[in-house]
């Protein structure tokens, strides 16, 4: 392996591993023929499938692991077992053998081991879980989606910076518009830490386009490129969005099925149905990124298929190409949030 772009992969994570993982990598190499992979997993299970993909085999190194993290395992347990495919895959990033790790396994475990092994970037207080999501005319970056139930103003300010870097690198937006998720647009609305974060960002040396607060119903209109919140709020917003999208589509389907006339109209609508399916396909937005660590950790949905897994891998690769971790490290060096935080807290009162 003399190539620089190496991704470490937990072959045992996810509901249909290792098959979906390997098939996903086979799709990913078509877009990224220069990428190399280190696969961690049970050789007896992984090797027979891998051999079916000769092109992929050439760029994969398989390392045998006898143990794996299960869905029901608690973070406190999994961090003590260094022999699981997930732990070893993350460890490969720490050792510098790979630049990012992708796993479809247990989210809590992946976050716990990633934090323990990779460690948070100096000067960043907390890592965040980030996703890229669709709005009416494009995509936006949203963080934190669940790593931190409660967040201070400093955490939120740091997320803004990381989100800015991510939107520039992953979405190619030159000057991303950053907004804090809140329940009103007025300055005095919402929680104390959100108001403090707004002050902190405004007073900081962060060179970002901060637009103030955004309410959840405005997100789909594409008025901001980065939405920042604590992990509890972000997770609530994300899951409300997912549930509602599924509800509306289900209601349309049920209504069409129950109507004789509507069924006759389906042939005319096929193109539209395909188009909407494609825009809303959750597989295309797969791959939540854990950012703020010394190395990138990407979590694929456990129930996704090969296409979904390939999207998570491609996300990881594209951020590695942009030197994402180094960029965060450099940008955070330029601002001194700790010093400013005291001022901000003072200003609010």
Residues that bind a second copy (CB under 8 A): 135-136, 146, 149-150, 181, 183, 190-191, 215-220, 231-233, 235-237, 239-252, 255-256, 259, 261-262, 264-272, 275-276, 279-280
Give least dist CB 13 to a second copy, A: 19
Q: Which is nearer to a second copy, 1 or 249 (CB)?
A: 249
Question: Other CB atoms closer than 10 Å to residue 348's CB: what's the count?
Answer: 16
Two structure tokens written together for 109: 């475990």
- Residues 6 or more apart whose CB falls under 8 angstroms from that of 115 comprise 127, 293
Closest distance to a second copy from the beta carbon of 26 (Å)? 31
**Shortest Å, Cβ 190 to a second copy:** 7
Q: Hey, how many other C-beta atoms are within 10 angstroms of the C-beta on 226? A: 31
- Taking the least distance from each CB to a second copy, the nearer of 218 and 331 is 218
By the 8 A CB rule, do 142 and 131 touch?
yes
Taking the C-alpha atoms of residue 142 and residue 159, their distance in angstroms, rounded to an integer, is 9
- Which DSSP helix (H) or strand (E) runs through 4? none
Angle at 167 (CA atoms; ends 186, 112), nearest 5 degrees: 95
List the structure tokens of 133: 């999501």
Which C-beta is closer to a second copy: that of 203 or that of 235? 235
Using only C-alpha atoms, the chain has a radius of gyration, in whole angstroms, of: 21
d(CA 6, CA 2) in angstroms, rounded, equals 10
Q: Which is nearer to a second copy, 70 or 321 (CB)?
A: 70
Query: Based on CB atoms, which residue is closest to a second copy, 146 or 287?
Result: 146
Min CB(235)–a second copy separation in Å: 4
Q: Which is nearer to a second copy, 186 or 338 (CB)?
A: 186
Q: Minimum distance between the CB of residue 287 and a second copy, rounded to whole angstroms? A: 18
In angstroms, give the least distance from the CB of 25 to a second copy: 29
Which residues are CB-neighbours of 150 under 8 A, at least 6 positions away?
Answer: 230, 232
Residue placing its CB nearer to a second copy in the complex, 38 or 180? 180
Enter the tokens of residue 62.
Answer: 């398989």
- Give me the least distance between CB of 112 and a second copy, in Å please: 14
């Amino acid at each position: 392996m003399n190539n620089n772009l190496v991704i470490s992969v937990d072959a045992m994570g996810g509901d249909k591993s290792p098959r979906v993982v390997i098939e996903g990598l086979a799709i990913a190499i078509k877009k990224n023929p220069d990428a190399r992979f280190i696969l961690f997993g049970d050789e007896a299970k992984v090797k027979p499938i891998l051999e079916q993909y000769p092109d992929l085999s050439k760029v994969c190194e398989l390392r045998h692991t006898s143990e794996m993290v299960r869905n029901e395992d608690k973070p406190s347990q999994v961090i003590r077992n260094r022999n699981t495919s997930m732990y070893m895959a993350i460890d490969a990033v720490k050792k510098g053998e790979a630049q990012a790790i992708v796993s479809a396994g247990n989210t809590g475990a992946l976050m716990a081991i990633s934090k323990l092994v990779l460690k948070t970037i100096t000067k960043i207080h907390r890592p965040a879980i980030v996703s890229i999501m669709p709005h009416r005319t494009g995509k936006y970056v949203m963080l934190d989606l669940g790593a931190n139930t409660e967040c201070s103003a400093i955490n939120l300010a740091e997320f803004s910076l990381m989100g800015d870097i991510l939107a520039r690198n992953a979405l190619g937006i030159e000057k991303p518009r950053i907004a804090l998720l809140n329940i009103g647009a007025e300055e005095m609305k919402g929680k104390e830490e959100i108001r403090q974060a707004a002050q902190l960002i405004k007073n900081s040396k962060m060179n970002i386009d901060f637009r103030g607060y955004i309410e959840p119903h405005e997100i789909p209109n594409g008025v901001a490129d980065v939405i920042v919140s604590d992990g509890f709020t972000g997770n609530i917003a994300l899951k409300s969005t997912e549930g509602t999208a599924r509800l509306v589509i289900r209601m349309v389907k049920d209504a069409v099925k129950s109507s004789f006339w509507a069924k006759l109209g389906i042939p005319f609508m096929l193109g539209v149905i395909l188009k909407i399916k494609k825009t809303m396909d959750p597989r295309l937005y797969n791959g939540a990124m854990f950012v703020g660590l010394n190395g990138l950790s990407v979590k694929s949905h456990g129930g996704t298929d090969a296409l979904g897994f390939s999207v998570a891998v491609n996300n990881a690769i594209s951020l590695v190409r942009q030197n994402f971790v180094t960029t965060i490290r450099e940008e955070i060096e330029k601002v001194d949030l700790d010093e400013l935080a005291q001022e901000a807290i003072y200003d609010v009162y």
